[in-house]
Structure 1
């Protein structure tokens, strides 16, 4: 099995806030991330697919096609957006980086060509904080 990773970048704002908690409780748990005026991140997204190289091309997947897929299904929906308010695939969910990674997985998995599987979504919120999601 060969693993192929494509790296993309996007900027987005969000707020960590549990509406069933008081403002004080939210600030205690989420700190500055509960800011009423939101806050933003420069996200780094690594999408890894796996498969066997095709005998005619030697590719697991054409990386241009993978890049377009990521841009169409994810980047166009999240870049320079408010993740809590503007992103359809996050509607009704708590807007953590963990849930964002799961949402990205769901956006991409259904569009991969036959013989190619999504292996991992790695999403950096900051250079020192990231999540990895390997599916359910």
Structure 2
């Protein structure tokens, strides 16, 4: 049976700070992130199925990624819980701001790996997560490929 890849993109705004970094990114700053999620599967062959001809409904991808990533990360500050930023983050939380404390350095690469772990378990067994790409800026991104992680 023929396999098809399907990609959906998402945008969200997130701030972060890189603890111990030796450049500007040690300061809290934000990005307009763009996330591309690509899955692979076989189009549904049952003509009585309302999703006949689809690998996955784009709306289903949207529900998963919005719930697991966009709604969580959008307009949020990501801070490494082991950094001195923790005290500032706790103050911001007390003031009603959205803060996520991570066990990892909130680099683009680590954020992407976190997002893979959030999305992959939500997919039906017949759908394979093939790749994810997280653009931190227009010209800079991290990419995860399933084939590199087997």
Bin of the TM-score, shorter chain as denominator length: 0.7 to 0.9
Root-mean-square deviation (CA, aligned residues, Å) is: 1.3
TM-score normalised by the chain length of structure 2: 0.77
TM-score normalised by the chain length of structure 1: 0.85
d(CA) in 2 for partners of 1:8 and 1:109?
16
- Structure 2: runs of 5 or more not aligned: 47-51, 80-88, 90-98
Q: Does 1:70 align with 2:65?
A: yes
d(CA) in 2 for partners of 1:11 and 1:130?
15
d(CA) in 2 for partners of 1:114 and 1:12?
31
Q: Which stretch of structure 1 is more off in the superposition, 3-12 or 54-63? A: 54-63
Matched with 2:100 is: 87
Q: Does 1:60 align with 2:55?
A: yes
Matched with 2:84 is: none
SS in 1 for 2:122: coil
Matched with 2:14 is: 12
Select the residue among 20, 24, 30 that pairs with 1:32. 24
Matched with 1:117 is: 128
Select the residue among 119, 126, 148 that pairs with 1:108. 119
Pair member with larger Rg: 2
d(CA) in 2 for partners of 1:4 and 1:87?
30
SS in 2 for 1:61: coil
- Structure 1: runs of 5 or more not aligned: 19-25
